[in-house]
Structure 1
Amino acid sequence: MTMKDTQESEPPVYIKLNRVGVTGIKKTIIRKKDGRYNVLLADIKVFIDLPSHKKGIHMSRNLEVTNEIIERAIGPEVEDIELLCIAIAKTCLMKQEATRAEVEMRADYSLPRVTPVTKMPTQEKYELIAKAVAWRDGDNIKVRRSVGAVAEGLTVCPCSIESVQHYVTENFNIDKDIVAKLPLSSHNQRGMGTLIVETDEDERVEANDIVGIIEDAMSSPLYEVLKRSDELKVVVDAHRKPRFVEDVLRMMVKGLVEKYPDLSDTAYVRAQQENFESIHRHNTYAEKSGFFGEIKEELNGNGNNS
């Protein structure tokens, strides 16, 4: 007796669904980048669209495809996990009656760093983001890929520094030009920056570059371990580079354009910055998204700034 394929039966309501799939898939992936290994515990989401005449998708097929692609990749080291996302998305399209597939992976990973003065080696943790969207275009399959990262840093409030400068000048009879050169106190925030870049399949943006762009946009990077001389340099440098949450976001986007000036105009950028306030109960947040070509026009002074 043949069992009924429930997923292929008629739905109670004929409505097409944009994304149906599985979330919370956990897989270990060995990533080798620039001669260095990272063992990633990836959190994976796999979706396809569902036509209006089908009751459901075959969830197990998405899982089978994910297992198959990742197990095949574990032998040779994986360099870019967005390539895994592309492979899974394309295979899901071929094995399911779908016109669009989407795969996203997120995983913590570490990069080697050295402290600024004592040059002590450390490992700093970041979040790696990769995504692929594949869709049918006639007999062909087209793909958009995304790579991104989440990184933390230190930010210093410019407004408080100006207030302290005014206070010192007025109350201690010190020349304002001298005061302007001093690393005066301010309140600080630990900031979290997110930068994701979506491109065509044949374009490439490096996650490690994105981490550097995010960290450079803030007042200072963070370090897991600091000796006293390291701590002094971080504090002094940060107070000489004060930035609002808005400043950080703008510098992040500017840094991307400077690092990848030849990226296609159709690349899409998503940037976010959240600062966790120290003297307020609230946090501050800024966001920018748009096509790369439009952002370059803005930076050149030719864009729509209204």
Structure 2
Amino acid sequence: MTYTPTSLTVNLPNKEERHQLFGSVAPGPRTKPEEKDKMADLQNTKKDFLFDLDEVGISNVKHPITVKSHIEPLTQSTIGTFSFTSSIKKTNKGTNMSRFMEQLNAYYHNGSVTSLSTLKQFTKDLATRLNQEDAEVQISFPWFYERTGPKSNIAGMNHADVSITVSYDNKNGFDIYATLSASITTLCPCSKEISEYSAHNQRGLVSMEVSIADDFDEEKTDWKLMLLEAAESNASARLHPVLKRTDEKTITEQAYENPRFVEDIVRLVAADLFEMPFVTKFKVACRNEESIHMHDAIASVTIDKADYISQ
């Protein structure tokens, strides 16, 4: 049923008058130049501004991106949150902020896929565009992957949180860091050991920060999938978006058969990362939201594989 007012009880002034009522004023005289080449460019001022700066740029930039995976969905659209920075010398007052967004827009309209190789080229191009010796790009996004129930095979979408940081300077080349955080199920070994029956379990969050070798071939290996498998395969059980009764029985029994402390998780995941040739150093952390405590349980380990090379 449509409501139609029979009468209006408020006499409103027109829109221009309403704006004036709330403080709008007529434009004042224009005395400064409107042509770009005649405008003052304060950011390009050259003086001694006391200190070099480590980072100057923009952050919290949200933009649509395209991500490829080796599991379904093979190509997906998601939202990336970006940070773009470069260092500047003390002889420069500032940087040209618009160039960061101009380059992002150009890459997007050229159909670029968010990948390590694309981000490397983007970062190098950004340094050139800014007339700087270095640049850094950070991006974080939710990565979705299809997960089926272990018995029913009914599919749904899970996701992990992913970030990539690519740093470039024209002397030392590239540094590539990536993170992936995935949720898992853990069942308490102590509870299983001391209880007559049952054992308490909880949801855990495994976070991995890895340094990736510059010569890594992402066409052959999906690093996202490798890190996800390292987290999930060492858990008591995996999480699923859709579970039928047959699935729930299977997962409950699997968790009971594979009890894990947070300490166990980080050591087992670390062992998997240690065996990945494209990972040079890493940190693994696990946080369990305890189901029978008011606190969380945490553990972490940091390893540089160079420390384990035989002299």
Alignment counterpart, residue 252 of structure 1, candidates 269, 287, 303: 269
Query: Which position in structure 2 is the counterpart of 1:147?
Result: 178
Amino acid at match of 2:66: I
Within 2, Cα distance between the matches of 1:57 and 1:11? 14
Question: How do 1:34-73 residues align onto structure 2 when only pairs under 5 Å count?
Answer: 34=70, 36-73=74-111
One-letter identity of the residue aligned with 2:224: A
Q: CA deviation at 1:94?
A: 0.5
Does the Cα contact within 8 Å between 1:69 and 1:87 map onto a contact in 2? no
Structure 2 counterpart of 1:56, which letter? G
1:134 Cα deviation from its structure 2 partner: 0.4
Q: Against the structure 1 CA distance between its residues 91 and 287, is the aligned structure 2 distance closer, same or farther, given a 3 Å change threshold? A: same
Q: How many residues align?
A: 269
1:288 pairs, out of 293, 301, 305, with 301
- Structure 1 residue 11 displacement after superposition: 7.2
- The answer as to whether partners of 1:143 and 1:200 remain within 8 angstroms in 2 is no
* TM-score, length of structure 1 as denominator length: 0.80
Partner of 2:241: 224
DSSP-derived class of the 2:225 partner = helix
Q: 1:98-247 alignment to 2 at 5 Å? A: 98-137=132-171, 142-164=173-195, 168=196, 184-204=197-217, 206-247=223-264
**Structure 1 regions of 5+ residues with no counterpart?**
169-183
Selected match of 2:59 from 23, 35, 43:
23
Q: What is the CA deviation profile of residues 160-199 of structure 1, one whole-angstrom value per residue up to 9, with x for unaligned ones?
A: 11221xxx3xxxxxxxxxxxxxxx4222121111223212
Deviation, 1:153, is: 0.4
1:71 and 1:194 mapped to 2: Cα distance? 33
Shift of 1:10: 5.6
**Deviations 1:193-233 (CA, angstroms, capped at 9, x unpaired):** 12232123222461111111111121111011111121111
Provide the C-alpha distance between the structure 2 equivalents of 1:198 and 1:70, rounded to a whole number of angstroms. 26
Deviation string 1:65-84 (CA, Å, 9 cap, x unpaired) is 2222232234xxx2x52233
Shift of 1:89: 1.1
Does the alignment pair 1:272 with 2:289? no
| 8 Å CA contact retained: 2:120, 2:174 | yes
Are the equivalent residues in 2 in contact too, given 1:128–1:148 (CA < 8 A)?
yes
C-alpha separation between the residues in 2 aligned to 1:97 and 1:281?
Answer: 53
Aligned to 1:178: none
SS in 2 for 1:221: coil
Q: What's the counterpart of residue 89 of structure 1?
A: 123
User: Could you say what secondary structure the match of 1:220 adopts?
Assistant: coil
| Letter of the 1:162 counterpart | E
Q: How far apart in 2 are the matches of 1:158 and 1:107?
A: 34
Q: Could you say what secondary structure the match of 2:170 adopts?
A: strand
- Determine helix, strand or coil for the equivalent of 1:40: strand
Instruction: Describe the shift of the 1:194–1:11 C-alpha distance in structure 2 as closer, same or farther (beyond 3 A).
Output: farther
1:13: Cα distance to partner? 4.9
Take 1:281 and 1:85, find their aligned partners in 2: how far apart are those partners?
42
Aligned partners of 2:204 and 2:286 also within 8 Å: yes
In 1, Cα distance between the equivalents of 2:278 and 2:46?
45
Cα contact 1:50–1:56 (8 A) shared by 2: yes
Equivalent pair of 2:179/2:209 in contact (CA under 8 Å):
yes
Q: Partners of 1:128 and 1:107 in 2: how far apart?
A: 5
Paired amino acid for 1:15 = F
Alignment TM-score, normalising by the size of structure 2: 0.79
Question: Among the aligned pairs, what percent are the same residue?
Answer: 24
Quick check: which has more Rg, 1 or 2? 2
Q: Give SS of 1:125's match.
A: strand
Whole-angstrom CA distance in 2 between matches of 1:291 and 1:186: 36
| CA distance in 2 between partners of 1:293 and 1:246 (Å) | 23
Residue in structure 2 matched with residue 6 of structure 1 by the alignment: 42
- Give the drift of 1:99: 2.6
